[in-house]
Structure 1
Amino acid sequence: MIKTILFDLDGTLLPIDTDAFVRQYMRALGAYAGHLVPPAELVKHVWAATGEMIRNTDPGLTNAEVFANAFFPRVGVDREALMPVFDAFYREQFPALRSTCTGLPGIARSVVETALERGYEVVLATNPLFPRMAIEERMRWIEVDDLPWRLITVYEEMHACKPHPQYYAEVLERIGRAPGECLMVGNDVQEDGAAAGLGIDVFFVTDYLIDREGLALPPGRSGTLAALRALLAAGL
């Protein structure tokens, strides 16, 4: 029996083309910190460190620690000099990226509220590649930041990323649920679909679907975000 719904953020609740958004994000970050590191160099090193973070599954290191260990030796600028600039970017410049997302706030809040009204616990199971500040900012764009989330997966706390099964195992452990008690809702067939490997039910949101392999989607467990809202209202 499903008790908890795990919602992905980008491309699922948040109506964005993830690749286009990340390109805008990288340009903005490079420009903001360009007085310390040439923008092209900064972006290159951010991507390299992000790759290390995605590959890591060491339970002794948070994603933030993996990123820092990979990034700062590459960039050649002391952490004490660069981290305040990154923090300021997320406070001052990152909110402006909202303009790259059309149609906000959309129906995300009503979907999550419907789940809560039906008695489900909710988790924001976004890929933990961003600091909490950036994730909570994007939650504000779709007006879900004040809802009673059981867990929000951020890079300061998590120890693996999608599509590693260790990511989903850590989520289950932290919320005290068995796989059969959860439904993963996401738009990425490979990353969010990996939850099925642990026995978690999956619903694929098709509005901004990402499918690198062209797989056939289950008709009863795929559809638009609006279709998911109707399914939740009717009872899963």
Structure 2
Amino acid sequence: MTVRAVLFDFSGTLFRVESAECWLRAVLAELEVPLSAGESALAAEALARAGALPGGAHPTHVPDHLAELWAARDRTAELHRAAFTGLAREVPLPDPRLYDALYARHMTPPAWRPYPDAAEVLAGLRERGIGVAVVSNVGWDLRPVFRAHGLDAYVDAYVLSYEHEIQKPDPRLFAVACDALGVAPREALMVGDDRRADGGAAGIGCAVHFVEHLPVEQRPAGLRPVLGLVG
């Protein structure tokens, strides 16, 4: 069956979030909270281990009192915020304002960078008449990130877990994307970095292609094979 549409994951597939250290430094500067370089580095490392940065590393351990929130974190905006700010609060920081400010920072366009070949691949799909949807487990509106980085013009539909209260790998979220693009699941290719979450698309008959979740500098051309898969 010819591929008529491509569904893309967001974080780790088309975009990568900044490092935990850059994330924390930006908020410390914004709030004018003094912290030495060494203390900042240690705090950033602790936040990364805690899994407090959405789009970053998963927690090394989820505290029992946050386990239920963590499992359902992408179903609503409220659960997403509670889960990630809860993880952040497991790390002592010098100013209580930092926890909410860190969460707010990760939703801004400067916190994200597109992979080097993202624009090229999305433009190539548009030239071939292939529909594109972004299917993401997320608790906030990522459309402004795409607009700020010049990629919104290549996206036909956004299917975000918190807007449907369904999170991947539930096949229903991928079905919503296929319906939005007017294609049958067997005519769609899902591209993502998470074998469990993104692999759920196979449950409704979509083809699935995985990319590596690497820093932007280490994956300059990971998306280009997608163009070959659509013919």
TM-score, normalized by length of structure 2? Answer: 0.60
Moved over 4 A (4+): 23-33, 43-48, 65-72
Task: Decide whether the 8 Å contact of 1:163 with 1:192 is kept in 2.
Answer: yes
- Per-residue deviation at 1:122? 0.7
Query: Which residue does 1:10 correspond to in 2?
Result: 11
Query: Which residue does 2:36 correspond to in 1?
Result: none
Is the alpha carbon distance of 1:159 and 1:171 closer, same or farther for their aligned partners in structure 2, counting shifts above 3 Å? farther
- Per-residue deviation at 1:12? 1.4
Name structure 2 gaps, 5 residues minimum.
32-46, 53-62, 90-96, 216-220
| 1:188-227 map, 5 Å | 188-206=194-212, 208=214, 224-227=222-225
Of 42, 63, 76, the residue aligned with 1:63 is: 76
Query: Which residue does 2:119 correspond to in 1?
Result: 109
| Cα shift readout 1:68-90 (whole Å, capped 9, x = no counterpart) | 79899xx9xxxxxx9xx77x935
CA RMSD between the two structures: 4.4
| Cα shift readout 1:199-222 (whole Å, capped 9, x = no counterpart) | 00112224639xxxxxxxxxxxxx
Of 124, 127, 136, the residue aligned with 1:126 is: 136
| 1:39-78 map, 5 Å | 49-54=69-74, 63-64=76-77, 67=80
Q: Distance in 1 between matches of 2:24 and 2:199?
A: 30
Aligned pair count?
188
Kindly provide the amino acid, as one letter, of the partner of residue 185 in structure 1.
V
Q: Distance in 2 between matches of 1:28 and 1:52?
A: 29
Name structure 1 gaps, 5 residues minimum.
34-39, 55-61, 76-81, 210-222
| Cα shift readout 1:27-48 (whole Å, capped 9, x = no counterpart) | 5899789xxxxxx9xx688886
- Per-residue deviation at 1:138? 3.7
Q: Distance in 2 between matches of 1:26 and 1:50?
A: 21
- Partner of 2:166: helix, strand, or coil? coil
Q: Distance in 1 between matches of 2:14 and 2:222?
A: 11
Task: Decide whether the 8 Å contact of 1:206 with 1:225 is kept in 2.
Answer: no
- Per-residue deviation at 1:188? 1.7
Task: Decide whether the 8 Å contact of 1:159 with 1:167 is kept in 2.
Answer: no
TM-score, normalized by length of structure 1? Answer: 0.59
- Partner of 2:124: helix, strand, or coil? helix
